[in-house]
Chain A
């Protein structure tokens, strides 16, 4: 089984230095594109490879690039930003790539920057990833010293500067337009689209924001071709994917597997199945902002279309498992506390709706819930949908809630009718509101 993204990552060992990385074929893609390919050809190749955005939205990367104005009359400078603000609860796949092989990211960023003819690039890194920050800083310096970054890269006439920017720990910064605002030193509020960042992004200039994992795929696509990449997937979706599992499983972790590997295989073969004494009740397939899936969905292949068809989203592909000894209300409350706190406060439904949802869940969890509370939760799941709110944060927050209300409604009702949490002994945490 091919594992292009993680082949050089060995847990517990320092990442490859530039020299070591070059020895195993590193930066070949940069040499190739600069010598043999036009930016348009790189765009076409990536579009052809059907590489979908690994941050969760699953949009064709080449297609996303194609909206960047090209040619001599376009606004400059153009920017490329690596979204390394991995703040999605339960998600730690980018961290593996950032800490394990920073040169792979830099190489991918050079490919992407060349494809859109960006001359300035940023790595927008989650504040808490201190190790990654150290490794990236080192790797960027090495890349500059070796002439992969800076002016006239490898004598090609192509220029690219790269900077590391560490955020201050806001979930909102994972949203690309809020990330751009933060990068400009403004409040991390999202922006309205259109205009898309491709037209007016960082400092009002054409900008592409790509996820770390997406960017890491690029060198391999350039080196091995679109067909090879498409062939990696087991289903219609191309490539490999970093899947992760957290929760009460025997061996939680992160693995690079072909796109389309079934949930059951990931859960049982790689995560070792549930811990003894715990039964599976449900899972969030791709981070906190995806709908619950349950027992009946375990044989679904993990790819964008299959999971979507089941009413959820593959998101980041890192699952959170809920076991039978965890209260679904408390579980959902924990998520909603996070979302309410991370709301930027820009639009009304999100700013005012999420704290209301959280307070209701807390009341239900404490046994103070009322039947009409469920109606209030229902209208929030209905009206905090995409388009009604300014960005995707609140709709994302509603995904686990609406599916919890669907699959675990009787648990909510028991809390309300019995005036206490049936799992109350197991309860260790409650948010303070």
Chain B
């Protein structure tokens, strides 16, 4: 700790930080642009100047950029010094010489860091009278709008895009006052994390293009804390609504999970909520499905329940509460997981590993600090994108730790740190079926079939800790690589092993678990991260339940004849024939969902469920962190949460437990009673009767406008605002104005800080944890007492088969996930279906890039254009999962090739 004097007031502050972040942590208002807490300092904008005095006798002082000064004990500075203030106002004056002053028509207006800083410095009158320079803007794809004239040249965009996120196609061009930040030519920004530019940019150069299509000022949005539903990581988001339309997603800072950033799937996938295929009315089928009111629909469903033997099919994208409610309603024995059996087994295995491992699951913040990473079988950029971004930071910071401290350079001095470290990277090993975007960072990559990846993993574990079973018949090259990986992991202090379910291989998961536990056995502070298939796969696994196949069998065997399907398109979980057969065999099909799909077409009763922004609930992410998402805005009467539908249904059929539950909190209590492991979920957020000074927390900013006018075309009398029975949040601007508990922050705002940069005011220290702790409660912690039993399920070497290809699942950030694939902007980025095959195999089969290849998996016929891959193992092929136009197949699986393809296996020795 050090003592510094700010305008003669002493403060105790931690050392090792720069003056700017220190002042901000102390709650002082120092304006800045180029500095970013996640990216450090470069000293470009000169906005954060303060006076620094040599000692207490120095009365003149000198201007210094606070972002470039290390805190020193006894340091005396002045923020209020007139010269410092005048200089800071001049900096705004300079920045504004060419700024178009178009706030009134700028999307950033009202949430603009440049506006905030301008007001903060007191620069009011413009005395630059000459012409402004102007630029031609670029087309950057469906996500971002480009308006270069507003640019204040702070370099944040390129530093984020290139240095932080590893993008290659955004740069700064030209010099002096003609600097241009953009692409070399018009075109779609390639990075999967490009959307963050809208938040990184302190003004309106990069703005959210999807918001533009239904634009609303930040102050007019009704907002709530939410959790991303588009992968298993559970990034925290703020969702905003106006006039019943979801308008945008912005980052909701969580120091342990997503920090300052989101991936593009998470940021732009929200438009599925506004999709034309939304179910806005419940339907009951007589001959044709007919829209009906709530009660009629409920009665029809209750009737079906009373008359049949009911089973329920849960969903990995529905909330814990909804799944639990369904499980309770149909009974534990009749609750099935609405996921493919492979997915069911892999998720269950993942949970088992997390429960029984001696290695904990690090949060993403902890992954960023890992000093060695081994990824097995996962293409993170496409399956858990933000984890890929975290790995990128881990690889970067490892060499930094050692060298930078040796050279006495503060870690926040970004440009100097990058200069010193150059291209050096920490150890990262990737074993995957084919190339991934992280390969460029990897120390070594290993492309092979899942069995080979697992074998490599088992070998690594065995080298680290001989009690972990070894692998017989491993090639010398592979053995050498295993040794190299083991050495790197053993050299590290905090190695992290990353794997997941996306490769469809149990052996890979088991190998990963062996490695992590072997490292723990060797007293390393190792961690294991397993990615899961969907946003709430973890909840489903923790609740327990039967496989989907057994649901099919139950109906086939006559054990059941009525099914309740919760938020699930079964056609994405099992083969078309099996699902159709199942649905047709059921006497009654009750479906709860919010988007029309193939399954809802078969519904006899279709209940209009609320999408994530219209519902309250809990998601449990891949690390076992339970997180609450709040309903953003009131819905029309016909739409409500699935758990509420099911609760009402339970009450109508007089279910002995459900009938007694009177609200959200009762459901949480019931879950905890049934599953003591989930005790933490009650602590995720305060209960719904929580109040601060008797007040609720407002979802709308105090500047929210037009409330009395919004419905005036219908009725000039303003209706009573909707009540939220499930949370301590109000739907209006009325309520407590201060900071609420961290898990329920509806939006970030502080006086003078209208942009998202106001998050500074919500953090214990800038860039650190939120005040009151980061949201989410971890439910699974390793038990050091437990003796981990190493898996001995080392697979045999993969053998290709004549006339067949072993089809592996390929995941795509845009397209593979069901909900985001319904968002218009994401749809523009979904790749065309393909089948990826090994280049040499293609040669032997006389197939060329783009040629159609017919094949069959499990009786389903496919015909897809060939994509040549030099890396995918011979005898295997990659089929994109979930893309529109690609039928479901339970992967990995053998495909039978059309006999006309002269597949001729090479002589065995080549394998």
Contact = CB atoms under 8 A, between A and B. Distances in A.
B128 interface: yes
A359 B130 contact: yes
A69 B91 CA distance: 38
Contacts of A351: 94, 153, 176-177, 179
B172 interface: yes
Interface stretch (B407-415, B587-595, B830-838): B407-415
B421 interface: yes
Contacts of B413: 192, 195
A199 B407 contact: yes
B94 A356 contact: yes
B43 A192 contact: yes
Contacts of A383: 86-87, 90
Interface string B81-115: 00000110011001101100000000000000000
Interface residues of B, number: 42
Interface size class of A (residues with CB under 8 A): 35 or more
Contacts of B330: none
Contacts of A195: 407-409, 413, 416, 419-420
A336 to B, nearest CB: 12
B431 interface: no
Given A191-B415, A191-B416, A383-B87, A348 B46 contact: yes
Q: Most B CB atoms within 10 A — which of A204, A376, A387, A389?
A: A204
B141 to A, nearest CB: 25
B909 interface: no
Contacts of B47: 348
B407 A345 contact: no
A262 interface: no
A204 B419 contact: yes
A341 interface: yes
A200 B416 contact: yes
A100 interface: no
B152 to A, nearest CB: 8
B646 interface: no
Contacts of B223: none
Contacts, number: 107
Interface in A350-366: 351-356, 359, 363
**Max chain A CB contacts within 10 Å: which of B44, B46, B68, B420?**
B46
A121 interface: no
B153 A345 contact: yes
Interface in A313-366: 340-349, 351-356, 359, 363
A228 interface: no
B90 A346 contact: no
Given A192-B415, A390-B43, A353 B422 contact: no
A379 B128 CA distance: 13
Interface string A155-197: 0000000000000001000000000000000010001101100
Contacts of A187: 172, 175
A346 B174 CA distance: 11
A349 B422 contact: no
Nearest to A199: B407
Contacts of B419: 191, 195, 200, 204
A349 B63 CA distance: 14
Contacts of B409: 194-195, 200
Contacts of B128: 356
B129 to A, nearest CB: 8
A323 to B, nearest CB: 30
A204 B415 contact: no
A351 B177 CA distance: 5
Contact of B68 (A192, A204, A355, A388): A192
A203 B91 contact: no
Contacts of B98: 352
A342 B416 contact: no
A359 B128 CA distance: 10
A372 interface: yes
Contacts of B713: none
Interface in B25-70: 42-47, 49, 62-64, 68
Interface string B156-179: 000000000000000010111111
Give the one of B63, B68, B130, B152 with max A CB within 10 A: B130
Contacts of A363: 130
B95 A348 contact: yes
B63 A204 contact: no
Nearest to A352: B94
Nearest to B68: A192
Given A191-B415, A195-B409, A388 B130 contact: no
A192 B176 contact: no
Contacts of B717: none
A269 B413 CA distance: 52
A356 B97 CA distance: 8
A343 B153 CA distance: 13
A204 B176 contact: no
A78 to B, nearest CB: 14
| Nearest 3 A/B pairs, CB to CB | A352-B94, A343-B176, A204-B420
Given A204-B419, A353-B94, A379-B90, 5 more contacts: A192-B43, A194-B416, A348-B153, A351-B153, A355-B176
Interface of B: 42-47, 49, 62-64, 68, 86-87, 90-91, 94-95, 97-98, 127-128, 130, 152-153, 155, 172, 174-179, 407-409, 413, 415-416, 419-422
